[in-house]
């Protein structure tokens, strides 16, 4: 395999890593004092329909056990009950959605289509869903959390939204994202900061943070997120729900902002479902994959007993936290469960190249379009520095992390240069290693994130912790986050399961098995 040349900086990295851990530990101490114990509690879920899988809600609507209007009104009440606490929902289309729900109910009552025909042609008829504020919904804003885009109105639905609406689902609104969807805490200067439903002093992740939060709080029947470095799986992890990043190129990115600048970035970005129940993932994926669904063979049965299972409990990557003991225990329980229930002897592996996860992701994300050009007019180095000072005194429309990202983007690997090309080769070699290991019947269990949800702003001290998800985007592999209960502090934990290209069904089968075994989503 091609090697990245080693240099004396390796020792410096170790020193920096130790110093970062010390700073993070001191920071955690002060954050814990500043935030104290959370005082805001969510009202309990009073309507059982919000606790049921979306496919079950769809069945009850088409069999007239409940109406689409009733389901929608229940979701609207729930959103209003929780949003003042969580700040996860940013724009609604309630009136239009109610008209669409009434039309769905009228179609069912008319008897012009049988239940079987409705199930085949419009399997999600009347089911309300939400998406993040970077995936286009006709006549709604598409800001991606960027102040320069605060007045941007979408003229058409993104492909995924169109496909879901064609199958009867009803889009009811948008959820919050970090600025330009490029950070793993959800906060922007248009809509503010989103809070974790299990503990409001903690983050919800990003960039599909508002969506993960709303799903955990049961505000809609399912959600749609997007993921270029973990933006579905991290919010799913922090909020205790399921989230699936599909295989590359299987779900259209058309209608997503920011637009991938290169074909390589387009292969990293995946639009996928976020749900409270694993059983909803496959039918939603089948719809949003459109014509590509045949490549996924989602109807092909998966015998979990016959899967090869590999696992790794830590990347040991520099500048990332150690994996929390509760997450390690959860991984061990999964391995033990697979042995006892499915007679699978999971094999522990140590893939050394995963130590380079962040270097690979940053290098492969590089383009010739400056990051700063997406968020500010004057994106020169001087202009960014001026904006940072304006931010410090509260006069900037940009978040501090977005400005630092724009400044950081000025350096690093040169796009198209020799070092950039070497990193591309290392990425290709690592992808080959995974393909050879997994084949068509293997899955890889790996932490989604090394720690449960940190305090607000604490990710600034743990910036590289998203390495566990980011590297999977580089490889274009499908991955599903699976919730596995709560930590000792009452925060969601879990792991991700990864499969070979177009073997999404293996991830989803494992997710359904572990959902049944470990209980999946827990009401906040």
Rounded to the nearest 5 percent, the helix, strand and coil shares of the chain are: 50, 15, 40
Whether 355 is a known active-site residue: answer no
Helices 281-288/159-166 angle, 10° precision: 110
Give the C-alpha separation, 230 to 243, whole Å.
10
Return the structure tokens found at 55: 């496919």
| Coil vs helix vs strand at 307 | coil
User: Catalytic pick from 208, 231, 357, 487?
Assistant: 231
Whether 231 is a known active-site residue: answer yes
The angle at the Cα of 442, spanning 437 to 446, to the nearest 5 degrees, equals: 85
Q: For the stretch 352-387, what's the b/e string if a residue is b when 16 or more beta carbons lie within 10 angstroms of its beta carbon? A: ebbbbbbbbbbbbbbeeeebbebbbeebeeeebeeb
Whole-angstrom CA distances from 457 to 203, 205, 249, 292, 476 are 8, 11, 33, 39, 30
Report CA torsion sign: 119, 214, 406, 413: negative
| Coil vs helix vs strand at 493 | strand
Give the C-alpha separation, 488 to 318, whole Å.
26
446, 507 Cβ separation under 8 angstroms: no
User: Catalytic pick from 132, 245, 356, 366?
Assistant: 132
User: Catalytic pick from 68, 207, 267, 487?
Assistant: 207
The length of the chain in residues reads 524
Closest CA to 486 of 198, 154, 70: 198
- Residue 319 has a CB neighbour count (10 Å cut-off) of 16
Give the C-alpha separation, 55 to 78, whole Å.
19
Whole-angstrom CA distances from 152 to 148, 299, 398 are 9, 39, 17
Give the C-alpha separation, 163 to 375, whole Å.
30
Whether 300 is a known active-site residue: answer no
Q: For the stretch 221-237, what's the b/e string if a residue is b when 16 or more beta carbons lie within 10 angstroms of its beta carbon? A: bbbbbbbbbbbbbbbbb
- Residue 116 has a CB neighbour count (10 Å cut-off) of 9
Q: What is the largest CA-CA distance in the chain?
A: 75
Closest CA to 202 of 37, 48, 68: 37
What is the β-pairing status of strands 308-311 and 442-447? parallel
Give the C-alpha separation, 232 to 244, whole Å.
7
* List of residues 6+ apart from 252 with CB closer than 8 A: 158, 159, 160, 271, 288, 290
What is the β-pairing status of strands 442-447 and 347-348? unpaired
The set of catalytic residues is: 132, 207, 231
């Amino acid at each position: 395999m091609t090697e990245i040349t080693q240099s004396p900086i390796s020792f410096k990295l170790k020193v920096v890593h130790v110093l970062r851990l010390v700073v993070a530990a001191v920071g955690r101490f002060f954050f814990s004092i500043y935030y104290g114990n959370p005082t805001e509690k969510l009202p309990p879920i009073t309507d059982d329909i919000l606790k049921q899988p979306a496919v079950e809600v769809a069945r009850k609507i088409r069999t007239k056990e409940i109406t689409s209007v009733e389901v929608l009104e229940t979701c609207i009440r729930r959103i209003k009950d929780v949003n003042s606490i969580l700040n996860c929902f940013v724009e609604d289309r309630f009136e239009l959605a109610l008209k669409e729900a009434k039309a769905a109910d009228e179609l069912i009552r008319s008897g012009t289509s049988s239940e079987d025909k409705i199930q085949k042609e419009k399997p999600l008829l009347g089911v309300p869903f939400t998406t993040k504020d970077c995936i286009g919904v006709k006549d709604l804003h598409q800001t991606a959390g960027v102040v320069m885009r605060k007045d941007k109105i979408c003229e058409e639905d993104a492909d995924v939204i169109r496909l879901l609406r064609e199958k009867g689902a009803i889009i009811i609104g948008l959820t919050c994202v970090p600025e330009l969807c490029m950070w793993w805490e959800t906060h922007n200067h248009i809509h503010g900061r989103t809070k974790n439903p299990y503990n409001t002093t903690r983050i919800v992740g990003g960039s599909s943070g508002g969506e993960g939060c709303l799903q955990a709080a049961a505000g809609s029947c399912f959600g749609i997120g997007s993921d270029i470095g973990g933006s579905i799986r991290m919010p799913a992890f922090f909020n205790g729900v399921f989230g699936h990043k599909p295989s590359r190129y299987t779900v259209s990115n058309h209608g997503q902002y920011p637009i991938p600048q290169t074909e390589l970035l387009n292969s990293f970005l995946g639009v996928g479902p976020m749900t409270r129940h694993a059983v909803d993932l496959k039918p939603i994926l089948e719809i949003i994959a459109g014509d590509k669904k045949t490549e996924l063979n989602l109807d092909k049965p998966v015998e979990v007993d016959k899967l090869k299972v590999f696992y790794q409990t830590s990347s040991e990557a520099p500048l990332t936290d150690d994996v929390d003991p509760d997450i390690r225990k959860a991984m061990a329980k999964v391995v033990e469960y697979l042995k006892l229930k499915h007679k699978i002897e999971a094999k522990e592996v140590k893939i050394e190249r995963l130590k380079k996860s962040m270097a690979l992701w940053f290098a492969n994300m590089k383009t010739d379009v400056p990051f700063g050009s997406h968020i500010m007019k004057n994106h020169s180095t001087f202009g960014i520095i001026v904006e940072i000072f304006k931010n410090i005194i509260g006069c900037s429309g940009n978040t501090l992390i977005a400005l630092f990202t724009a400044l950081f983007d000025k350096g690093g690997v040169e796009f198209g240069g020799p070092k950039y090309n070497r990193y591309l080769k290392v990425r290709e070699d690592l992808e080959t290693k995974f393909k050879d290991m997994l084949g068509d019947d293997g899955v890889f269990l790996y932490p989604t994130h090394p720690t449960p949800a940190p305090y607000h702003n604490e990710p600034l001290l743990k910036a590289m912790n998203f390495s566990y998800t980011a590297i999977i985007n580089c490889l274009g592999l499908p991955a599903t986050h699976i919730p596995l209960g709560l930590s000792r502090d009452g925060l969601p934990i879990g792991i991700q399961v990864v499969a070979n290209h177009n073997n999404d069904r293996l991830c989803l089968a494992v997710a359904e098995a572990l959902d049944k075994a470990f209980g999946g989503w827990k009401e906040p």
